[in-house]
A and B are shown apart, each in its own frame.
Chain A
Amino acid sequence: MHDRTLDIPQLSDEVRVPAPPGSWRLAWRWPVAEPRWASVLVERRSVIANLLLTVVLLLSSLMYLAVGSVVLGPLELLAVLRGEGDMVAAFMVHELRLPRLTAAWLTGAAFAVAGCLMQTLARNRLATPGIIGIDNGATAFAVASVVGISVSLAPPAMALMGAATAAAITFGLAVGGGTRGYRFIVAGIGVGAVFGAITQLLLARVGIDTANAAYPWTIGTLNARPANAMVVLAVGLAIGLLLAMWLSRSLSLMRFSDAVAQGLGIVIQRRRWQVLTVSVLLTGLAVAVAGPVGMVGLIGPEIARSLSSRRGVPIIGSALAGALVMVLSDLVGRVLLAPIELPVGIVTAVVGGPWLLWILLRPASRNLV
């Protein structure tokens, strides 16, 4: 039994396999009758990056809670968060800003993880759900349910259906050319244009008041967040994150050619479906809360990738970075032109648009993920 050199029992205290450079090995003993050792390797750089992102996210969240039409000092904010302080400030923080902050976290994380999955799947950093029209599909269906196709299904369900429909059409159109390269993305832009037109059509048919109410929602805002959609998104994000982390191992191999991934034992077709499903799920649920906030799915994974190690697919990092982008953008949108509130979608578009152009136009464009 003990002829194999790297058998688990040998990883005891005495004989330790050293961790490869740039990573830590976390080893622990299972507390069962017959002690077994288990260990995982974590990339040092990714851990540091995620910790950094977490710290920055927490700091900016505190700032988000403190700044607004009424600015709270740090001590005041702490008092309010501990349940003390005066009534007005407590109401403002707990009833107004905290739910909105939660929405920003959830939608940002969902958009960014969906973007990261889709980019890795298509091996193209431009292939985010927002660019290939999935956002628009979800918006069209959700608007349809809001402005009253007589059977009013819940917006999250309709947004999911819309996202799935748009994804099915885009990928169906791309069957001939594969999911690589730019053709697939331009097909997605076409699909997105059609769904955008359908949204406009729906808004043109209803009265001016309904259209006005729906207008900010079509560019993406955290202002009108349906409560039930938030709950659904929270549950969906928890499931989606776990699934995405489970998929990330196969995904990091699928970044190579199909042949390599297949040779390493990945059932490509099935994995592709799973990744696509998770991505569409996250996008649809997030759109149901905040509308199509563009570019978070592009910027979030980009930040995460530049910070973490190149080896894995940075799912956690993307979620953190997406939430950070969303929080900061909404903060800027609330504060910059107060008392006018900029929808968060406009802020992200203004920030992300030049970035997208730069990715496309810089001379040595390295477009594959």
Chain B
Amino acid sequence: MRIALMRIAECLPAWRWRRPQGVARPFIVLSLLVLLAGLASVLLGAGEVGPGRAIAVLLGGGDAEARFVVGSLRLPRTLIGIAVGVALGVSGALLQAMTRNPLAEPGLLGVSAGSAFAVALALLLGASAATLRVSAAQLGALVGCLCVLSVVRMRGVGSDPIRLVLAGAAFSALLASFTSLLLLFDQRAADEIRFWVIGSLSGRRIDDLIAVLPSLLVAGVIVLAIARPLAALALGERVASGLGHRPARVRLLVILAVSLLVGAATAIAGPIAFVGLVVPFAARALAGPDIRRALWLCVPLGPLMVVSADVLSRLLVAPSEMPLGVLTAICGAPVLVAVVRARRMPTL
């Protein structure tokens, strides 16, 4: 433990408490937008309680039903949406920077599918405690990440962004069919997991969020520590070594952070695709190519996308709800097509 701490402390001088230039204003604007979306998420819903009654609750009044709906259903849901958005957005940006591939995304590359498979396996073996589910999801995500890394290191594939995505899609499909296979074995697990597999924020409790908070914090510390080496790594492995960073170690830390983040997000909300693609894409468009600035912007952009998609998913087909994963896929797939169709594939 002490050695590990010293190792992290070794990294620290490389990372100074200096805010990247020029992201303060978009960061603040986006954070305000996230607040607005969160407010909308608390006020609007598919059920009976409308904005008027919800405002009454927020002002301290309101009837018992409205208080229950707002306090116990919508508020946790909004908070969970924010956490999931941050985790998925940041992990997407990290993966893209590490693989130097604008299409790398936890959902597309099979990281989410890995953790979904691990959770299904854990449920099948009899686990049901929330913490166990989180660690299973994170382990699965770690394995998925390691697969991605080994594919990237393979000659010829890593340099071709589209081939990596194809391999990821094939890997995801394979894992998804394994997951359905597991679900066929066990009706109980299937019932428990059916809505979770699609990816949704409905019916999640605040305990789930508390269970994953420690790992989110650890991942946050890791991300702060590796932002600067990662930016150097974007210039190529040799440049990064020349600047005094250790590419292998940075990569391992990235993988650790990504699997903590994706595992946590998947454990709460199920596999939600395309957030990790769209958010870094928008962040780069706003902040330019520097990974540190893009990472800062991913922090508000992720929740903005997830929470507003969640609000829409409640309103579009009211009185029922549609799964969040459906809406993010409908928003995200066109972005994927647009990136692919760009005449010159941007390499990171």
Contact = CB atoms under 8 A, between A and B. Distances in A.
A253 B171 CA distance: 34
A347 B332 CA distance: 29
Interface stretch (B114-122, B204-212, B334-342): B334-342
Interface string B155-178: 111001011011101110110111
Contact of A204 (B154, B157, B326, B343): B326
Contact of A205 (B160, B317, B343): B317
Given A205-B317, A361-B157, A186 B170 contact: no
B174 A194 contact: no
Contact of A360 (B167, B180, B274, B337): B167
B13 to A, nearest CB: 39
A200 B327 CA distance: 10
A360 B173 contact: no
B325 interface: yes
Majority DSSP secondary structure for residues of A touching B: helix
B300 interface: no
A186 B165 contact: yes
A214 interface: no
B320 interface: yes
Interface in A173-221: 173, 176-177, 181-183, 185-187, 189-191, 193-194, 196-198, 200-201, 204-205, 219
A356 B110 CA distance: 15
B157 A189 contact: no
A193 B157 contact: no
Interface in B144-161: 151, 154-157, 160
B14 to A, nearest CB: 35
Contact of A361 (B151, B180, B274, B336): B151
A182 B181 CA distance: 30
Interface residues of A, number: 40
Nearest to A126: B166
Contact of A189 (B330, B336, B341): B336
B109 interface: no
Interface in B289-339: 317, 320-323, 325-327, 329-330, 332-334, 336-337
Contacts of A226: none
A349 B176 CA distance: 9
A204 B173 contact: no
A346 interface: yes
Given A183-B340, A200-B323, A204-B198, A193 B273 contact: yes
Of the four ranges (under 10, 10 to 19, 20 to 34, 35 or more), the interface on chain B belongs to 35 or more
Contacts of B327: 197
Contacts of A182: 160, 162-163, 166
Nearest to A181: B162
Given A204-B320, A357-B174, A190 B333 contact: yes
A126 B165 CA distance: 13
Interface string A23-65: 0000000000000000000000000000000000000000000
A193 B166 contact: no
Given A182-B163, A342-B184, A353-B177, A205 B320 contact: yes
A309 B110 CA distance: 37
A337 B184 CA distance: 10
A196 B180 contact: no
Contacts of A204: 198, 317, 320-323, 326
Interface in A110-139: 126
A18 interface: no
A350 interface: yes
Given A193-B273, A294-B173, A360 B166 contact: yes
B174 A186 contact: no
Given A193-B329, A204-B323, A353-B170, A346 B157 contact: no
Contacts of B340: 183, 186-187, 190
A20 interface: no
Contacts of B334: 190, 194
Contacts of A350: 174, 177-178, 181
B162 A346 contact: no
Interface string B101-130: 001000000000000000000000000000
Interface in A57-82: none
B185 interface: yes
Contacts of A354: 174
A363 interface: yes
A182 B169 CA distance: 13
Nearest to B103: A186
B181 A191 contact: no
B170 A194 contact: no
B162 A363 contact: no
A269 to B, nearest CB: 22
A201 B322 contact: yes
Contacts of A205: 317, 320, 322
A365 B164 CA distance: 13
A87 interface: no
Contacts of A196: 329
A340 B184 contact: yes
Given A177-B341, A340-B184, A360 B163 contact: yes
Contact of B177 (A186, A189, A190, A349): A349
Interface in A330-369: 337, 340, 342-343, 345-346, 349-350, 353-354, 356-357, 360-361, 363, 365
A295 to B, nearest CB: 9
A191 B332 CA distance: 11
B54 to A, nearest CB: 24
Contact of A349 (B173, B185, B325): B173
A221 to B, nearest CB: 11
A365 B337 contact: no
Given A194-B333, A204-B320, A342-B184, A186 B326 contact: no
Contacts of A181: 162
Nearest to B199: A200
Query: Across chains A and B, which 10 residue pairs bring their CB atoms closest together, nearest first?
Result: A353-B174, A349-B177, A197-B329, A182-B162, A190-B333, A190-B337, A197-B326, A190-B336, A356-B170, A193-B333
29 contacts: A173-B341, A177-B341, A181-B162, A183-B162, A183-B341, A186-B336, A187-B337, A189-B165, A189-B169, A190-B340, A193-B332, A194-B333, A201-B317, A201-B322, A204-B317, A337-B184, A345-B177, A346-B181, A349-B174, A349-B176, A349-B177, A350-B177, A353-B170, A353-B174, A353-B177, A357-B170, A357-B174, A363-B154, A363-B156
